[in-house]
Chain A
Amino acid sequence: MSSIELKKVVKRYGAVDVVHGIDLEIAEGEFVVLLGPSGCGKTTTLRMIAGLEDVSDGELSIGNQVVNAVAPKDRGVAMVFQNYALYPHMTVRQNMEFALRPLRLARSETDRRINETAVLLGLDELLARRPSQLSGGQRQRVAMARALVRTPDVFLFDEPLSNLDAKLRTQVRLEIGKLHKRLGTTIVYVTHDQVEAMTLADKIVIMQDGHIEQTGSPQEVYTRPRNRFVATFIGSPAMNIVPATISDGKLVGDHVSVEIPERFKKRVQAGQKVEFGIRPTEISLLDGAEQATATARVEVTEYLGDEALLDLRIGSQELIAEVPANQCPAEDAEVRLRFNPEALHIFDAETGMSLENQAR
């Protein structure tokens, strides 16, 4: 087990910076997920930690030792690659054996470790097979077994589930979570899938364009997004964003007007241009005489079983609401809405930064 620390780490290809000086601390035994859209620099960051890419600038430490110039094999890391990277001409057993070779263990110890790992990952029946004779899920487990058998201090995963079908993905995801609980090894896990990130992570690192947008627990990044990017990236369907101006203690947008929640009152000025955000689940339909936040027309309804998604139009603005399926209105109906003020987010229109009091 090792901690990892990145200080102002930069990756440059030629004149182009693809990772712009990121700072990140990963504690011993922590499960950290790098999450972000494709091309944001997740893989590059992971490969720098592994030592497969040089760090162009800044300092990278593993276990309190600066490793910028340390060879990959001496960093105590093992990696599970996106396409598994198994040796195609070797059996499952030989794949694991080859990973152990540099350790020069006694024959009996090698066998003990291989058998133990194979049992742990349910591969004991498959040891004599080649990768071409395995299913996608099995190959994935062999890739993990090969990384695991070395008992590394740090595990690196690069989108390990992206080649699996949806059902298998859920299953293997659970297995990875269990594995971490059991072994307690530090894990850095790259994905663009927020469900994987939310379910697995102790800490989520949200990246965009080579920058870290926010670091925090799944709950933190969901409930207290630091900016509009994080707010809309986390959560499905995405948070609704409505442009508005501050006027008379209200957020006034196109055909919407919302009372400013108490906690924001001191943070805004009259006339300020902002954007407020509301998650689809925090919009409810009114049937009584209560004061409505807005009136909307239902354009499309999507029935999901317990819930229904409503595509709503308010003036020029489109919103999505998620309501209990039994409240689902007819398409083209006019509905009155209430936005839960406790769940309202306000962002500066220019910087996109949240006006909420931030922990960090």
Chain B
Amino acid sequence: MAYIRKRNRKIFLIFMMPAVLVLFGTTIYPMLYAGYLSFRSYDLAKLFVPRVYVGWANYREILSSSEFLHTLIVTFKLMAMTLSVQLVLGVGIALLVTQRLPGMGVARTLLLIPMMISPVIVGLVWLFLYFPELGYLNYFLSFLGLGPYAWITSTDWALWAIAIADIWQWTPFVMMGTAAALTNLSPEPFEAAKLDGNSPFDVFWRVTLPQIRPVLISLMFLRAIDAFKIYDIIFVLTKGGPGDTTEVLSMFIYRQSFTFWRMGVGAAASFVSLVIIVVLITLFFKSLNRDPHQA
């Protein structure tokens, strides 16, 4: 900032003000306010009861409630389901589209489309597909003599229904990152392996995978952070149901805050979720630094 002369400093501040205000008003203030609320009892349903300071009571309530624990388990379960499939599918498709075959460039672009759609729309698209009586999925499965399945209303399938929609939307992301990493690998070691007669299986596990491992780790962490915050698709498809089968952490926060109007508890849950994300990110950067091939 040394280039800003003294007489320009006022003008600089005036021009910076709007951006700073917007950032403060939309990000920092709500966060501070949520922090403030998380230590209060603030019930929108009881408007005239004062917001009294309750110390760690909200946090204690959350961390000891089996309901919160359940949503945390559902969140991580869903994360494990989506991430594992996205990793396998994403890497598989990336291996395919990076082959020098006709049409692969087009395929690579078309496959990105799901990623560009807003999650709410993705939810709606899959809602039409899953719809018990009118949905396309059961219609097509009926030709195979299967179904009808109660995709989003059965406790067996609801979480998978959500996972499938998320997998559909985010596999392209993993594919794209992996494809970029694959394209960056120098071709000669693969030619050497071809001459030596190493099997494709060996080449994948021992030559390809170790070299793209750092990229895969990054992609998985980005997906993990996103999966931890998953909300829109669930809100459209199941609203956390049936029962609490698909009730993830963000649904819990939403429900506490805007169904039960317990803003203090909701705010405290948000902060717990923030802490978990921060821990995830820290682990992520630690693992990046520990990578042996980055030397």
Residues of A at the B interface (CB closer than 8 Å) are 50-52, 71-74, 77-79, 81, 83-90, 98-99, 101-102, 132, 146, 150
Contact = CB atoms under 8 A, between A and B. Distances in A.
B197 A79 contact: no
Given A51-B195, A98-B206, A102-B198, 20 more contacts: A52-B191, A52-B195, A72-B197, A73-B194, A73-B195, A77-B195, A78-B195, A78-B196, A79-B195, A85-B188, A85-B191, A87-B206, A87-B207, A88-B211, A98-B193, A98-B196, A99-B196, A101-B198, A102-B199, A146-B192
A190 to B, nearest CB: 14
Among A72, A89, A102: residue with most chain B CB under 10 A: A89
Secondary structure at chain B's binding surface: helix, strand, loop or mixed? Answer: helix
12 contacts: A51-B195, A71-B197, A72-B194, A72-B197, A81-B188, A87-B206, A88-B189, A88-B293, A89-B211, A89-B292, A89-B293, A102-B198
A102 B207 CA distance: 14
Interface residues of B, number: 20
Given A101-B202, A102-B199, A132-B295, A85 B192 contact: yes
Given A87-B207, A88-B293, A89-B210, A81 B192 contact: yes
B66 interface: no
A252 B293 CA distance: 68
B186 interface: yes
Interface of B: 186, 188-189, 191-199, 202, 206-207, 210-211, 292-293, 295
Nearest to B213: A89
A89 B207 CA distance: 8
A85 B207 CA distance: 12
Nearest to B193: A98
A58 to B, nearest CB: 21
A123 to B, nearest CB: 17
Nearest to A156: B195
Nearest to B295: A132
A86 B193 CA distance: 10
A73 B186 contact: no
A81 B196 CA distance: 13
Q: Which 10 A-B pairs have the closest CB atoms?
A: A73-B197, A85-B188, A102-B197, A89-B210, A85-B192, A99-B196, A81-B188, A72-B195, A85-B189, A89-B293
Among B189, B193, B295: residue with most chain A CB under 10 A: B189
Contacts of A73: 194-197
A85 B191 CA distance: 8
Contact of A102 (B186, B191, B196): B196
A83 B188 contact: yes
A60 to B, nearest CB: 15
Contacts of A88: 189, 211, 293
Contacts of A89: 210-211, 292-293
A146 B295 CA distance: 23
Contacts of A146: 192
Contacts of B194: 52, 72-73
Nearest to A89: B210
Nearest to A149: B196
Contacts of A150: 196
Contacts of B211: 88-89
A87 B295 CA distance: 15
A98 B186 contact: no
Nearest to B207: A87
B104 to A, nearest CB: 19
B295 A83 contact: no
A50 B193 CA distance: 12
A52 B193 CA distance: 11
Contacts of A52: 191, 194-195
A144 to B, nearest CB: 12
A67 B293 CA distance: 39
A86 B211 CA distance: 12
B116 to A, nearest CB: 34
A87 B189 contact: yes
Nearest to A51: B195
A297 to B, nearest CB: 52
Contacts of B186: 83, 85
B195 to A, nearest CB: 5
B194 to A, nearest CB: 5
Contacts of A79: 191-192, 195
Contacts of B188: 81, 83-85
Contacts of B293: 88-89
Contacts of A74: 197
B180 to A, nearest CB: 18
B251 to A, nearest CB: 42
Contacts of B207: 87, 98
B18 to A, nearest CB: 49
B260 to A, nearest CB: 53
A102 B195 CA distance: 10
